[in-house]
Every structure is written in C-alpha cells, then in structure tokens.
Structure 1
Amino acid sequence: MASRLQGSFWAQGSDSEDEEPSEEEESSSEDSDSSSDSEAGARKGASKFLVGSSDSDSSDDKRVVRSAKDRRYDELRSTCDEIRNKLHINDWNSIQTLFDKLNKQLEKTQKVTEAATVPRVYIKLLVELEDSLLKTLGDREAKKKMSPTNAKALNTMRQRLKKHNLGYAEDMDKFRANPESTADESSDSDDSDSDDGSGSDEDVDQGSDADGAFEKIKSKSEKKKDRLLSMDPKDISYEMVSKKLQDIMLARGKKGVDRQEQVEMLTYLTSVAKGPCQRISVMLSMVSAIFDINPSMSTHMPVPLWKRCVSVVLEVLSLLSTHTHIVIDDSFEGSDERTEEPSPEQEAPIPGNLIAVVERLDDELFKSLQMIDPHTHQYMDRLKDEPVFLAMAAQTQDIQANHTDQKTLARLALRRMEHFYHKTADVYEAMRKITMAQQQADAAAEVDKDALKDEDELDAEVVTAVGQATLKVPADFVMEADCEAFMESLSRQIYEHGDERTKARAMLCTIFFKAIREDFYGARDMMLMSHLQDNVQHMDISTQILFNRAMAQLGLCAFRKGLVPDAHSCLSELYTTGRVKELLAQGMSISRYQDKTPEQEKLERRRQMPFHMHINLELLESVHLISAMLLEVPVLAAPDFDPKKRPISKPFRRLMDNYERQTFTGPPENVRDHVMAATRALLKGEWQRAYAYLSDLPSWNLLAEKDKVLHMIQQQLKEEGLRTYLLTYGAFYHSLSHQHLSQTFDLPDKKVHSIISKMMMAEQLAGSWDQPTGTVVMHAAHASRLQAAAGALADKATALVDLNERALSLRTGGVRDMDDDREGGRGGFGEDRGFSRRGGRGGRSGLLPGPGDYGRGLGRGGGRGNRGGLRSGGLGGGMGRFGGGIGFNEGRFPSDRFSRRQQAPTYDHMTSLGRVGNSRRQ
C-alpha cells in the first residue's frame, strides 16, 4: 500500500501518456534535448526504489516525451490513414466525418508550427480523395449498390471538395507534377527548428512549372470561351452564329451557368448576326436570358434590366415592321435547320411568343411599382416608363394582328385597358403631354447626334445600343386624344373575341372608368345587365378585387351626384366586415384572431395595388358614414311603434352605441368622431352644427368639385334635419308654422311642404295641413297602457327567444347564424317581408291584432314563437304592439295558407348591387 502511494506521489511530477498537455504548455515548452534527458533521468531515479514491486506495471520501460509539434503531425497522419482505409470500402459517410476532423487537426497543427505552409501529407490525401471521388462517380454500378445515406454523403463530399480544393490547387498541382518527392514528408517529421524544406531550389522549380501549367489551363479555358469573340466579325458565318446560339439555349437552366455572361454573349451575337431573321432569333433568345437573371416571382426585375429588355423588344418590333416576311409563330419549331438567311420573297417563321413577353414585362412593371417607396422620386421616374410599355404593347398588337389568334389579342387589349381605366381625364391628358414632350426631346437629340457624329461612330453606336439601358418612346406612337373612344374600341374588341374572364374584367374596367367620369347611371346599368354581382364570388381573387374597386368608385360617384341611398347600398357591403384594406388590396389588416401562413402573406402582398391606383380610404369612409347617417337619423328619431323602424346600417349603429357609452367625448379627431358628433347634433335638429363638423373633414380636398359636394351635403342635412325635428318634437306641438319651419331650416316653402306631405302620406307624421293659417296641425296618437305593456312584453319575449336559440346552438354545436345581419324584416300584416334565413319577426310592430309577418325563414325548423318560417308559416307571429296573442305555431306541423304564399324576394336594384359575397373576402 505504501509503495503504491509512493509511486503515485512520484507520478505526479511526470506527464501521463494519455493526457494531452494544454496549449499554453505546448507553446511554452522549448522541447530541447537537455530538458528531455533531465526529465527522463528524474523519472528513472524515482522508479529505482520501486524495482521488484509488484504494483509497478512497467518500471523498466523507457518513457519518451515528444513535442506538441510531433504529436500534431502524428494525429494528422493517423487520420489520413483512417480516411485511406475508408476509401478502400467506399464508406463515404465515415469519410465525411473524418474529413471534418482532419481539417480541425490541420488548424491546430498550423497554430503549433506557426507556419503558413500546408503539410505534404495533407496535400497527398486531398489528391487521393479527389481521384477516388472521380473514380467512384464514374462507376455507375457501384453507385447503384450504395445505400441512400452513403450516396448522399458522396454527393456532399463532391460539392465540398470542389470548393475546398480551390484554395489548395497550386499545392495539388505541385504534388501531381512530382508525387515521388519525399522532401516535404521528411521535413514534416523532422524535429528541428528549421522549415519543412519547401523553399528548396527543386521545389521552386516545381512551383514555377505548376504555375505555368495552371496558367496554360486557365488561358486554354479563356480561349475556348472567347474564341468567337476574338474572331473578325467578317469571318463569322451563319452556321457559327446558329451553333453558338443553340449551345447557349441548351445551357439554359443548368447549374453553374453564368447567366450574365450568356446575356453578354447574346448581345455580341446580335451584332454579328447575318441578316434580320437571325438577328431577331438571337434577340428573342436574349430576352429569355434576361428573364432568367431574375427567376423569382416574389421580387421584381431590376429596373435597368427591365429597360434593357424593353429596348430589345422594341428593336425586334422595328425589324418586324420593316421586314414583313418574318413572322413570329409560337408553334413553329424548325429554325435550327436553317443554314442561311431566308430570302425576302418567302415567309420566314421564327419560334417565339411576343405577347407572352409583353405580359411578363407588364407583370414586372406592376411588381416594381408595388415594391418601390411611393414617396420617392424613384417611383415617379418609374411611372414615366409606362408610356414606353404602352407603345410596345400597341405595336405588338398591330404587328401580331394577322399571325395570332383573336383570343390572345383580346388578352393583350385587356392589358392595355388596365393601364387606362383608373386614370381621370386630367391625369390622362397630363400623361399624353409628357409622352409628346419625350418624343420631341428624343427627336431633337437625334438631330444633334446626326450633326455631331460621323457614320462610323453611328455604326459603332448601333452595335452597342442593345447592351445599354436607354429607353425612348417610339416616334410613331400616338396616344388618342379622346380616351373614352379609345377605351370603347378596346372593350369592343374584348367583348367580341375574349373569354369569360377577360370579358368580366373589361366590363369592370369600363364601369370604373365611367364612374370616375361622373356617368353613374351608365355604370350602374352596365353592372345590372352584366349580373357580375351574382357570379363574382366564383371568379379569381384579382377579379374580385377589381369588382370591389368598381363598387367603391360607383358609391363615390353616386354620393357626388347626391344619390345618398344608392351610395350607401354600394358601400355598405365593403364595410360589413371591417376589412376594407384587404377587399380593395390596399394593405393588410392585422387581426389577433387570424393567423396567416407565410405563403398566404406572400400571396396577399403580390395582390396589392400600386400606390397611384389606390382609392383614398378616408374619403371612402367619410362617404359611407355620412350616407348611413343621413339614412339612419330619421329612423332613430321615429317612435318605437313605427313599423319601419329597423336598422339600415349595422356598422353605423355599432359606432353610435360605442359613442353613446363613452363617459367623456372630447373634440372630434378622426372621420368617425366627426360623423358621430354631427349625428348627435342632427338628432337635435341642429343642422348648422352638423354641417360644421362634416365640412371640417380634410378628405373633401381630394374632390375636384369640393364646393358642389359640400353644398349637396348641406342641403341633405337641412332636409333630414327637418324630418328628424318633426319626428322627435312633433308630439309636443299642437301646430307648427310652415313659414317658421322654412326659416329655421333654410329651405324653400315648396320644399318644406313637399317633405311634410310625404311624411304624412307614409304615416310617419300624424298631422294635417291647415291651408288658411299655413300651419301643420298635429294629431296626438299615444299608446294606451295596455298596448305599451304588450309591446314591452313582446320585446322581452323576443330577447328571451334569441338567448334560448343562441344557447341551443352553442350547446349542440350547430352552425346557426344568429347574427342580426341576417334577420328578416319586422312588420304587421306581413306587408314587410323578411327575406333572410330566419324570416321576419311577425307582428312585432303590427298596428292591429292579427297574423304577423310570415317571412321567408330558411333556418332549421322554421320559426319559433313569434317567427314565421317556411315550415311554420302562418300564424306564429302574434304579439303585436297593439294586441294579438303570443305565437302558438312553433313549426312542428305543416303550415297553413300563409306558407303557400311565399314569393321570390324582390330586391331593390341598388340592394342587389351591394352584394359582396363572403367567399370573396379572403
């Protein structure tokens, strides 16, 4: 035991063979012979007292301490040997792991040796790895027998070695030139302070030879690539250009192909092409190569590339207009068989699709306008490129008119129409003037250029013009002075030859175009005759967005015309869900109850409209809320027993309830605050205050005829203020002076007389005219206590049934739409039918006892209690305000004669306009 402790004590002073010294010890050790001998002697002296002890394992073994440098080299050689063993059995999965380990060991070795050179054993292994890899890849049978994991590791090693060996190419070339040399290997194992012998004269000679070989290989590849470029253009034949063009097209889409280099090569081929036919073929291939530079659909093509591509297409169109015998046909496939330029007497078809190229350029222009900041000069400069595109599209349609089917031409006409339909008359005229100014400036520049340059310089410029990003409006392009006639000619062509989607989009563009030019009735009639509001939910999302934009403009146009009910009908469906930005593709609303995947967000961003095509959302909200206010305020002021007192705009009612619940309301700040403050003032009959609130909205500055619209709003406020005043305070008067009402609301006597007479005829106002005195005599009509109690009981019963149905739907899990938006009408005698899924609330406000409204209930089980449905039908609606019994038919038995009197719903013409299906709100 003592001897064991003593042995362990002496062992503390020595290094263990299994332990690896730290880097500090390695760097601080001098590794001299004297120190090694002294340490060995110390260990030998200590072990001398333990001779004969059974606990000593190897007392007579001589322990040798090696330097850190030697250990690192040994580890490197050991790993290289392991990799060679794995190469014999093609275990590339293990080779991949060992290769990572070897690279880490190389870093440690270079840190210890502090040398920039790479050990020869490492270079030798790289060469063996590369040779073995090429051999394995060439053996197809061996590759088939590999496991999927091993095959994957093989491909990974091929890619890694391809990149990794680039940094050691020079050393590998030296080794391949003289693989038998052992100078470096001996220097690697040498323990002296000298270098590893890489600086010998022999190695210098070998390095120079390797450098020369590398330069030869490099120059050979460059000559192979640039052989055609270095030739005299006169020596280049038609077959050489065709063969080079074919080689470039076959290389499209392959990995490792420099696409920019392909474009530059095609640019050169354009200048040396033999004849217009071959020149057009090369230029069409060049357009495809430019498109390949930016293959992603989520990002737009860089603007210089877009301009370069458009300039190439314009040159192609110019050549086609000059050489009419050349035809671009998408179905032709025999251009590779030509060995010479075709003669002008015969038709020369070329494979290609110019219309597809124009559509792709249009998409790239649209995407660039989506992504560029609209508040910068770059956006304005990008908009100036639109006339060039329109000129290109017009020339393409004219040239391809006789060689392309009419359906494709109709699609191109729709592309042109989509650039004009959102432009007002002033914007179109400004764009026309800018285009003419650009053409005049380009013509003047050409004259100056002709005066300053000689013919040789002009020829050189023509050669390099294709490679430049210069973009000019063609001199022969003329924008029509009458935009309406131009739009009509495009739409006529689309209606004759387009498919269903193209026709629908052309119709919506025309409706939008008419709406911004104040032709409301023409736009409304087109919408009604086309029945797009019935079928739009089955169309694609971009068409649904266009439909929503057309409806929004239709509503704005109706409001500017003073047609408040029509404006509200057009805009009500857009504001039902509160997702106006998404419906108009002018932004993305963030909701905490809705999670969108990255793919959905990407698709939604691709559908966004450019900034210059936006409809101002603040103006749209102002028009919607003011229209709802003018319609809702008289309804709010009507007595409770009025059969027509039902909500017209649910979003407005919700805003009104939230506004009334506020404890403190400060000065109005946004559109909603202004409209709610105006509503509260109008309910009191104070139309001046209401007009002051509404006229302060800044959105009116966006209208061209601001004063006319504000005058219309003021007139509407006077009329609705008069109605509201009579409905609210009429019961407190015995008679009202006609003249006093005219002065209070600043209305003509005839207008006041007309409004009051209509209210009397509609039974909204209980009164009569006294012609001699010029007053309105009010007739008191107060409900009795029994009638008031019956009405209160009816309201409570209705609320109780609503709660029971909601609880039942939640308990059973059934999808039963209990939203108030789908309730039917309420009315006595069934004259006010509710065309909804739940039918009408029968007899809720009936003036006399009797059956209530039988409605059109499409819900499950028909109506219950006081709701009449298709199955319960008839007498289930009792509980009128002035009498009637509680509903007794609960829909369990076949209905009576009322269920057989169901009729198809008759929608008002603008109600049908406002139908925006839920399936479109994506």
Structure 2
Amino acid sequence: MASRFWAAASGSEEEESGSESEEESSEDSDSSSSESDAARRPGVSRFLVGSSDSDSDDDRRVVRSTRDRRFDELNGTCDELRNKMHINDWNAIQTLFDKLNKQLEKALKTADGAPVPRSYIKMLVELDDFLTQTLANRDAKKKMSPTNAKALNTMKQRLRKHNPTYQTQMDAFREHPESSEPEPSEVDSDASGSDSDDESKSGGEDEEDGEGFEKIKSKQEKKKDKLLTMNPQEITYDMVSKKLKEVIMARGKKGVDRREQVEMLQYLASVAKGPSQQVEALVHVVSALFDINPSMSTHMALPIWKRCTGTLLQVLELLQQHQHVVLDESYDSGLEDRTEEPEASKGEVLVWGNLVAFVERLDDELFKSLQVIDPHTHQYMERMRDEVAFSALAAKAAEYLERRGDNKNQARIALRRVEHFYFKTDAVYDAIRRMAAVQKEQLDAAEKPAEETEADMEQDPEDAEMEAATAGMGKETIQLPADFQMDESCQRFLYQQAALIYKHGDERTKARAMLCTIFFKAIHDDFHGARDALLMSHLQDSVPQMDISTQILYNRAVAQMGLAAFRAGLVVQAHNCLSELYASGRVKELLAQGMSLSRNQDRTPEQEKLERRRQMPFHMHINLELLEAVHLICAMLLEVPSRAATACGAAEARRRPISKPWERLMSNFEKQTFTGPPENVRDHVMAASRALMGGDWRQAYEHVESLTVWSLLAGKEDRLNLMRNKLQECGLRTYLFASGSYYQSLSLEQLCQMFELPEERDGHAHGSRRYHMLDMQMSPHKNPKQPPSV
C-alpha cells in the first residue's frame, strides 16, 4: 500500500494545496527528507547539506569587519603567549612574539589613527616582568636546555630594543593596571557595523554600546577620590588627616593598588597643612614605596630607589627647617587626635618614622643591585654613581641625629658611611668628590631655566597646577643638598667616623669599624699599623663567634694585610696572613667573591641562595690571581731554602712543610713526564721554584717577572726590584745549603759575583774575604705561629 506522502508527491493539486497548519506541523520531517534527498542527489557536496538561505531570524549570520578580526587574532596570540610563559617555553615565546608584532602592524593598518591596543601593552609589561623574574632565578636558568637558554637571551636583547618605543604606555599601565579602558575594536561600533549586514547592526544596538561606554566612564569617575577633585585651598587639616589614616589602614590588604597609594600619599603631602603633617605624609610615602618591592631576595627598581632617596632628603630638609618636628619610632598617631597643625612654640611635635631603618634599607638595596647588575656594562657604572646620593643622605641623617643627641643611631649611620669608603684609595675618593661637585653643578644649571619661567607659570595657573600634580612621577635625578660637601681627606673622614663608633657603638659595630680601619691602613701600605690594630683589638679571638658578614670582612682585612706585607718586602708576614686562607681551599667563599665547584660539597638551593646574598659587588673584589701569586711566591721563597737545608742534613730529618698547598703543587709538578711552557700563575711559580732549587735565580726571576699581575700593584718597577733581591738572597741560601758539603770554605767575592749581591747590606760588612761554612748563621725557616682561622 502506497504512502499518502508519496501520493501527494505524484498526485492531485488538491493535496498539494493543503492547509498551512499541516505544513508547519511536518516541518521537522520535511527538513530531514530534504536533507536525505540532497544527499542522494549527485553533484551536491555533503558538507552543504542542511544549509539554507531561509534561516530563522534567531540564527541570523553576523559578518565581522576586518579590523575586529585583526584585533581578535592579536588577543588570541596574547593568550597563547601567557600559556607558554606558564611552562617557561622561551622558544615558543620568541616565535609568538614575532607573530604578535606582525599582527599588530596589520591591525594598525586596518584601523587608521587608532592607538596601540591596551592588550598589547599589557602583554609587553607581563613579558618584561616575567623576563626579569626568570633572569633573577639562577636555579631555573641552570636547569634550562641550551636551546631554551639561547631563546631567553635572544628575547632579553629584543625586549631591550623593542620596549623603549612603548615605554610611556607601559609606565601608564603599571601605574593603573586595573583601568577599564576599552579596546579600539569595542569603541568604534560604527566602523564594525559598516561591513556587516543591515539586519545584524541596528541603531538600537549602537545606542546600547554608547550607554555602556558612558557607564564605564562613570565608574572610572566614581573610583577617583573626591579629595583629588577639590580645590587645594578648600582642603582642611582634618580632611588630610582622615584620608591619611584611611590610606594607612588599607596598606597590606588584598586588591589594593600600591602605586595608587603612593600617588595618593604624595598628593596628600603636597596639600598638607603644616610641616608636621607634610613630614608624616612623606614618611608614609617612603614606606609605601618599600611595599612595592616586598621581596628581600630581589633588589628595588632604580626609579623607586631614587624616589625614596629624594623623598627622604626632602624629609630631612623639612626637619632642618622646622626643628620642633621630631621623628619617633614609638609614637602612635592613633592615640592623639589632632584637628589642626600644632604650633612650634608649644614644644616638640612627634611624628612616626624610623629614619635609621630607612637609610639602612636603602643601603642594602643599593648593595643588592650592585650584586645583580653585570659589572662589565655601562649600567653598573651608572649605578655606582648613586653612592654620591646615598652619601649625601647619610650625611644629612647624621646631622639630624647629632642635633637630637641620638648617639646610638648616629654610630649606626657612621658605620654605613665607613663601609662605603674603607676600600677606596685616595685617587678613587678624589674622583668621587669631583663627581659630586659636577652633579651639583649640573642640577643647579638645570634649575635656572625653571626659575626664569616662574612668572609665566603664575600667569597660567592651570598649567602650574598640572605640573605640580605630576611632579615626581618620572623623577630619575636626585637633588643633592646645597650644603652637602665631602671631606677633602678620606683618611681624616674615616678616622673621625671610626672614633664616633668606638665611643657610642655596640660590640658588633665597633668590631666592623676596626676591621674597616685595618683594611684601610693595609691598602695605604701601613702594614705595621694594621697589624698593631689587629693584635690590640684581639679580634682574631672573638671573630669566630660573630656573624658571617663580619667574618667575611675579617678575611678581607687579613688578605689585604698580606698584600701590604708583600709590598713592603716582608715575606714571612705576608705568608702568615695568606696561609690560612689557602689552607682551606675555599678562598672564594671566605672572601665572598664567588663559589668554587667542589665534588665533596653538596649545597642545598637555600644554602646557595644565602651564599649569593653574601657576595661582594665586583668593585669591592680583591684580585684572586694577584692573591694566589703573592701566596705562592712567598711560599717558594720560604720552602726552597728549607728543602735544601733538609737535604743536606742541616735540619731535622722529618721536616714539617711550611706551605702545604705549595708542597702539593710542587709534588704534582715533579711527577709530570713532560712540562710545557707555563700558562697560569701556578705554572709560572712552579717553574721558578724548580729553577731556584737548581741555583738559577735569573731564570726564576724571568718566570716571576712574566706574570701579568704585577700591573695591578702600584710602583711596578720598585716591586720587581724588590722581588729580584729576594730571589737573589733565596738563591744564595739555597746554593749554600745544597753545595756547602762540597766546600770547606767559600770566597765572598765569588758569591757576590754569582748572585750579583753587594758585599755590604744595610751598612754592615759581611766579614773577611774567606770564612768557614760553620760560621754562617744560615738556619732554615721555622714555621711561626699561625693566626686562628675564621
């Protein structure tokens, strides 16, 4: 029996003209049958099955403009970049970064006059922060594959060249990262609607977009504080005080923008009604700036450091002008509710603040930044110039503490000042003084045009108000105080500060000041003064119980004493100072100038991190090659005659080695079947030792003279002449011990010709022309008592 549907397809027109209700009820079945018929029809693609031009209004097709598609692609690439950043895949980040820049060019071409998308600026900021974080994490860098590490270095160079173009937009984003600024594709609804169908975009939708944009603007206006929109003359003391307490209470909470807090506190300081309120606001500005970088493992950014220093100098200037305002760490502003500015005649006005802690924190941040920055770059030299600004800050803080009679904190500041100059020679100190004078002249010259245009600013109050509101936002130069001047003599300055510390400091402060003084004496060739200071202070007995940083300073002072003794020709004293450092085999760790790789030492990541925090900046290093050369040369001058004396029976049968490191190196050197030309310090000294043991002092001098470290010593010619005399004397002693058993007597004239020594030394004659070997007082060196190790 045939179906009625098929009958309708073949039959009468009456059944074809059925009711509309029946067609609507069978809509689903008709659509399925049409799909099956289309599938059976030859030449029709099965991918087009189900497509119909008569779609319903709810499923209307939307056509997007080329501009919108470009921005969508750019945002999608940004999301991919973030995913690769999560897994630290720098190869993919490098590829996607190139792709992102190409998409930006295409997007800006399609959008005439449109600004750079905020999503792109946000991506640059995130990439910059992630790169800085990755470079700071040395453990993660070590675990990277070579390809990934190479891509990291490539991205470092690319971002360094690429980001300055968008630096202004990046700085604006960092200041207001939560701003809801719309993207270009969202603002221009008319441009996107021109390429779409008439039915997809209507006037009602445009009105809705306009209303949404107005809502965004209204929200931004609501976020803006009411105090910022008021006339500064209408703001009262009570309003500033309440707002100040509100900002202080919000510190540390989640979701609080720290940079916005800094700007609000800076604005409150500019509209404060009185010196005490202004000082209070500026002190909290410094605290808020410290909160921007809460981690102690990373250093503070350079602009933030300079802004902190400039703000503290401003605080100290206010304290100098209004001496009734006093900073007190224990003062609680909540206990005293002030409604107006206290008068100076009523006594001291207390304001919370710890000036010494601020100065010490800035010093630590400067030290940490010099640890991290590559010392072979121009950036390191620029950072070292900031020592002048810190010296000015410390000097002003010391003046304030002296006015207050706070001797304990004054000693702490004095120690910080001493630690910046104890390792500097007179030439370096004079260069810093000249640099400080040049900086003051440049800043004074830069201020003159500003003073000339003050009348113009008064004529245009709106421009003047805008400039005052934005003052200090991008400030990167520090105004040195007008009365700041460094002492002409570094020695006088150092001894004055040390005397203050000895009088008012605690035990640790006194010990560090004494070690700094010893170091300073040693680099100025006053070995005997440094030795007497060390022995009189008995620091060698108490330093093992001190903190690690003080132990490092002790090791540095002893090493510098060894160099001073060597420059003075005191071989035994120089060896005594350096022997303990090299006996441990960990010279880099003891001097905090790096970490030596050893198989027997397994450090945890935490220990390595602590070790890196103790490292000295590069400009404070003692040259390790020079130190090793001095130690091995002194050991050679003592060991070679001692070996010869033991061989001839002039000493006890069992000889105790004077220098175990030299003995170990010499033993390895003698075991070598073939000895090539010397390449490093050890090879040169070992070759000189072998020649000296054979009595050939000239060849030994040639090996020692060829060392490159002599250029690091002042007065190179005098040092080489001194070394020549020491090798002649050592060669003479070695020759007498080695060849004395073959002779009954020796001619003094012949010995003087062989070793090119004069017959008289120090005004005393050696005696007769011929003398017996037994009459010569040539005994081997006895090992003196060594100083205790740290």
Q: Please give the TM-score of this superposition, normalised by the length of structure 1.
A: 0.61
Match of 2:788 in 1: 915
Other-structure match for 1:243:
242
Change (3 A) 1:752 1:236: closer
Q: Give the corresponding residue for 1:420.
A: 421
TM-superposed CA distance for 1:618, in Å, is 0.7
Give 2:328's aligned residue: 329
Per-residue deviation, residues 93-117 of structure 1 (Å, max 9, x unmatched): xxxxxxxxxxxxxxxxxxxxxxxxx
Q: Which residue of 1 aligns with 2:482?
A: 475
Q: What code does the residue aligned with 2:517 have?
A: T
Residue 394 of structure 1: aligned partner: 395
Contact 1:414/1:502 (<8 A) preserved: yes
- Say if 1:734 and 1:779, in contact at 8 Å, map to a contact too: no
1:414 & 1:355 partners in 2: Cα distance? Answer: 12
Structure 1 residue 706 displacement after superposition: 1.3
Measure how far apart 1:754 and its partner are. 8.0
Q: Structure 1 pair 31/327, CA: closer, same or farther in 2 (3 Å)? A: farther
Q: Deviations over 1:398-437 (max 9, x none)?
A: 1123447422221111011100100111111111121122
Tell me if structure 2 keeps the 8 A contact 1:312–1:466.
no
Match of 1:606 among 600, 613, 617: 613
Name the counterpart of 1:881.
none
Instruction: Go from structure 1 to structure 2 and tell me whether the alpha carbon gap of 1:451 and 1:200 turns closer, same or farther (over 3 Å shift).
Output: closer
Trace 1:791-870 onto structure 2 (pairs within 5 A): none
Residues 741 and 752, structure 1, Cα contact 8 Å, conserved in 2: no
Q: Which amino acid aligns with 1:646?
A: R
What is the SS of the residue equivalent to 1:575? Answer: helix
**242-251 or 410-419: which moved more?**
242-251
Contact 1:622–1:671 under 8 Å retained in 2: yes
Q: Out of 764, 770, 775, which is 2:770 matched to?
A: 775
In the alignment, structure 1 residue 749 sits paired with structure 2 residue 753:
no
In 2: Cα distance, 1:402 partner to 1:31 partner: 100
d(CA) in 2 for partners of 1:394, 1:31: 94
- Are the structure 2 counterparts of residues 778 and 507 from structure 1 closer, same or farther at C-alpha, using a change threshold of 3 Å? closer
Find the residue that maps to 2:606 and give its secondary structure: helix
Residues 757-788 of structure 1 show CA distances to partners (whole Å, capped at 9, x for unaligned) of: 8xxxxxxxxxxx8x4xx2244579xxxxxxxx
**Using the alignment, how far apart are the partners of 1:733 and 1:266 within structure 2?**
91
**Aligned twin of 1:666:** 676
Q: Partner residue of 1:450?
A: 451
Change (3 A) 1:592 1:749: same
TM-superposed deviation, 1:224: 3.7
Distance 1:304 1:778 in 2: 75
Q: Given that residues 401 and 409 in structure 2 are in contact (C-alpha distance below 8 angstroms), is that contact kept between their aligned partners in structure 1?
A: no
| 1:519-918 pair list within 5 angstroms | 519-640=526-647, 641-644=649-652, 645-751=655-761, 771=768, 774-778=769-773, 908=784, 911-912=785-786, 914-917=787-790
Q: CA offsets per residue over residues 520-574 of structure 1, 9 Å max, x none? A: 1111011111111112111111001000000000000000111100000000011
RMSD: 3.4
Give CA deviations for 1:469-508 in whole Å, capped at 9, x if unaligned: 2213222111111221211111111111111111111110
For residues 271 and 309 of structure 1, the distance between their equivalents in structure 2, rounded to whole angstroms, comes to: 16
Distance 1:236 1:224, change over 3 A: farther
Instruction: Give the CA deviation at 1:255.
Output: 1.4
Aligned residue for 2:746, secondary structure, equals: strand
- The 3-state SS of whatever aligns with 1:615 is coil
| Matching residue of 1:320 | 319
Deviations 1:268-288 (A, max 9, x none): 222212122111111111111
SS in 2 for 1:399: helix
Q: How much does 1:634 deviate?
A: 0.3
SS at match of 1:574: helix
Specify the code of the residue in structure 2 equivalent to 1:469: E
Q: Alignment length, in residue pairs? A: 601
Distance 2:357 2:201 in 1: 66
Residue 384 to residue 643, structure 1, CA distance change in 2 (3 Å) = same
- Distance in structure 1 (CA, Å) of the matches to 2:774 and 2:240: 99
Task: Look up the equivalent residue of 1:364 and give its one-letter code.
Answer: E
Tell me how far apart the structure 1 counterparts of residues 405 and 564 of structure 2 sit (CA, whole Å). 39
1:26 maps to none
Superposed CA deviations along residues 284-337 of structure 1, whole A, max 9, x for unmatched, are 111111111111111111111111111111111111111111111111113661
Asked whether the 8 Å contact 1:582–1:588 carries over to 2, the reply is yes
CA contact (8 A) 1:311 1:469 kept: no
Question: 712-721 or 731-740, which moves further after superposition?
Answer: 731-740
Cα distance in 2 for partners of 1:648, 1:701 equals: 28
Which residue type is aligned with residue 750 of structure 1? E
Distance in 2 (alpha carbons) for counterparts of 1:739 and 1:552: 40
Name the CA shift for 1:736/1:472 in 2 (closer, same or farther; >3 Å).
same
C-alpha contact (below 8 Å) 1:308/1:469 kept by paired residues: yes
Which stretch has the larger CA shift, 475-484 or 542-551? 475-484
* Identity percentage of aligned residues: 56
- When you count helix as a share of all residues, which structure comes out higher? 2
Q: Which secondary structure does the structure 2 equivalent of 1:736 belong to?
A: strand
Q: Deviations over 1:571-617 (max 9, x none)?
A: 00111122111111111112222221111111111111111111011
Counterparts of 1:400 and 1:436 in 2: how far apart (Å)?
Answer: 25
With over 3 angstroms needed to count, the CA separation of the structure-2 counterparts of 1:464 and 1:564, relative to structure 1, is same
State the one-letter code of the partner of 1:708.
D
Q: Distance in 1 between matches of 2:456 and 2:620?
A: 46
Match of 2:377 in 1: 376
Question: Relative to 1, partners in 2 of residues 1:266 and 1:742: Cα closer, same or farther, differing over 3 Å?
Answer: same
Deviation at 1:213, TM superposition (A): 6.3
Instruction: Provide closer, same or farther for how the CA distance between residues 348 and 734 of structure 1 changes in structure 2, counting only shifts above 3 A.
Output: same
Q: CA deviation at 1:211?
A: 7.0
Aligned-partner residue type, residue 354 of structure 1: L
* 1:798-848: CA deviation from partner (whole Å, max 9, x where unpaired): xxxxxxxxxxxxxxxxxxxxxxxxxxxx99xxxx9xxxxxxxxxxxxxxxx
Instruction: Provide, for residues 119-148 of structure 1, a one-character-per-residue CA deviation record: whole Å limited to 9, x for no partner.
Output: xxxxxxxxxxxxxxxxxxxxxxxxxxxxxx
For 1:593 and 1:708, the matched residues in 2 are separated by 42
Aligned position for 2:269: 270
Gaps of 5+ in 1: 1-29, 42-65, 69-165, 168-194, 758-768, 781-825, 833-906, 918-922
The residue matched to 2:482 in structure 1 has which SS? Answer: coil
How is 1:38-117 mapped onto 2 (pairs within 5 angstroms)? none
> Per the alignment, in what secondary structure is the counterpart of residue 612 of structure 1?
helix
Q: Is the 8 A contact 1:31 1:67 kept in 2?
A: no
Q: Deviations over 1:239-292 (max 9, x none)?
A: 221222111111111111111111122222222121221111111111111111
Would the aligned equivalents of 1:424 and 1:516 in 2 still touch at CA under 8 Å? yes
Q: Give the alignment's TM-score, normalised by structure 2.
A: 0.71
1:212 aligns with 2:211: yes
> What residue ranges of structure 2 are gaps of 5+ in the alignment?
1-28, 41-48, 52-179, 182-195
Partners of 1:698 and 1:463 in 2: how far apart?
58
Aligned position for 1:466: 472
Q: Which residue of 2 aligns with 1:158?
A: none
Letter in 2 for 1:661: K
Q: Which amino acid aligns with 1:380?
A: M
- Equivalent position amino acid for 2:344 in 1: P
User: For the Cα contact (< 8 Å) 1:635–1:646, is it kept in 2?
Assistant: no
- Higher-Rg member (1/2): 1
CA distance in 1, matches of 2:738, 2:357: 65
- Tell me what 1:260 maps to: 259
In structure 2, distance between residues paired with 1:678 and 1:727:
18
1:639 and 1:517 map into 2 onto residues whose CA distance is 38
